[in-house]
Amino acid sequence: MAYTKDRQPEKLPPILGREFFQDKCNILRETLFPSPPQAPKPNWESYKPSAWNWSILTNSKLENAYLAKIKGKTPGPNFISQDIILQAYRAIPGVFYKLYSCLINLGYYPKCWK
C-alpha cells in the first residue's frame, strides 16, 4: 500500500554528471536520436543509365490488368471507382489499348494518374 500513497516529487537524479535540465535533455536527445551514419559519396564516373526494356502490350495483358480486382481501393478525388473504369474498358477496349500502348512506348505516365 505504500506505493499508492502520495509522495513529494523528488528531483531527477543527475544524468552522466549533469544537473541542469537542458543538459539532461541534450543527453537524452543524443542517446535516443543519434546522428545517422555517414556514407562515402558515390562514384558516378562509371555509371551508365540503362534503358527500360518493356514487353510489348497485348490485348490479353491489358484485359487481365483491368479484370484484376484490387481489394481495398476506394475512389479518388474524382470519384471514379474501379468498376466504372472496367465498364469503360468493356465499352471501348480499342481506345484503351491504343492509349496504353502509346504511353508505354513513350515511357510517359501522366501526373494526374499518380
pLDDT band at 72 (very low <50, low <70, confident <90, very high): low
Q: Which range has the worst mean pLDDT, 21-25, 50-54, 88-92, 93-97?
A: 50-54
- What is the CA 107 to chain-centroid distance, rounded? 21
Q: What burial letters (b/e) apply to 48-72, b meaning 16+ CB within 10 Å?
A: eeeeeeeeebeeeebeeeeeeeeee
**pLDDT for 114 beyond 80:** no
pTM over 0.85: no
